[in-house]
Amino acid sequence: MKILVTGANGYLGKGVVKRLLNDGVTVIATDFRNNFIDKRAEYVYGDIFSMESPFNELGEPDVLLHMAWRDGFVHGSQNHINDLPKHVNFINRMITGGVKHIAVMGSMHEIGFYEGSINENTPCNPQSLYGISKNALRQAVELECKKEDVIFQWLRGFYIVGNTEDGCSIFSKIVQAAHKGQKDFPFTMGLNQFDFLDYDNFCKQVADVVEQNEVNGIINICCGRPEKLADRVERFIKENKFDIKLDYGVFPDRPYDSKAIWGDDFKIRMIEKIKG
């Protein structure tokens, strides 16, 4: 199996590439830089949106794992809307070129304000430009895959916990602050409950999904249970033995963040059984 990973040098992409390689998969990795990409991967530099024949130029892969996306943590960025046609066009040209299996990184922000467990039938009403764009891409790609008889997998990601500086999540920001010697970290009240998945487990779940084609459609990349944000962050600080404490109530909660939201892990458990 040959898997093409776009956005391979990103915070999420680098870990998924490594996991796929460890699983014995041939990986073609593409991005504008390769400083974080595992050297075992075949690296292709270039702008995927401007390639004339991306399927051929990117090594004629069996599977496209599309993780490229900019401003993922800036939910109000206009780049989400501006880039949307480019993502649609790129994926459509990959299908025209001959790829038969499409997997795209999605987000729980496609759902919008919702309380409870999310499954593939949960209605979407996104409340940010990021969520709107991801949801529109999902709908467009699903239609095209159905029309061309291509395997469609939409990997709906939740909240990822990693302990490296090269990210934009609250956990990466705490690592950055701790390394700078900060003793206090400005925080919300932390009462919202989310679905948290450790970075290595996230990478494993993504790899498990794209390495099989029996379970398809929308698949939650999640742990399947909610945890209070404050509890998870406090635990993260203890796990990493950081000398830093949370300054509660400095920032308000984002108005579009749900009070309690988590993924239904039924499909990912099915895939884990298939993988053995």
Scanning 98-167, the segments in alpha helix (DSSP H) are 129-148
Write the CA distances from 74 to 38, 69, 70, 77, 94, integer angstroms. 27, 11, 9, 6, 28
The separation between CA 78 and the C-alpha centre of its own chain, rounded to angstroms, equals: 19
Whether residue 226 contacts residue 165, with contact meaning beta carbons closer than 8 Å, is answered with no
Angstrom distance (rounded) from CA 243 to CA 245? 7
Angstrom distance (rounded) from CA 230 to CA 227? 9
Sign, CA dihedral 244-225-126-190, equals negative
Residues belonging to the active site? 130
Whether residue 97 contacts residue 136, with contact meaning beta carbons closer than 8 Å, is answered with no
Residues 6+ apart with CB under 8 A from 267: 120, 215, 217, 219, 220
Q: 154-192: b or e for each residue (b if 16 or more CB lie within 10 Å)? A: bbbbbbbbbbeeebebbbbebbbbbeeeeeebebbebeb
Give the count of beta carbons closer than 10 Å to the beta carbon of residue 45. 10
Of the candidates 255, 148, 260, which has an alpha carbon nearest to the alpha carbon of residue 196? Answer: 260
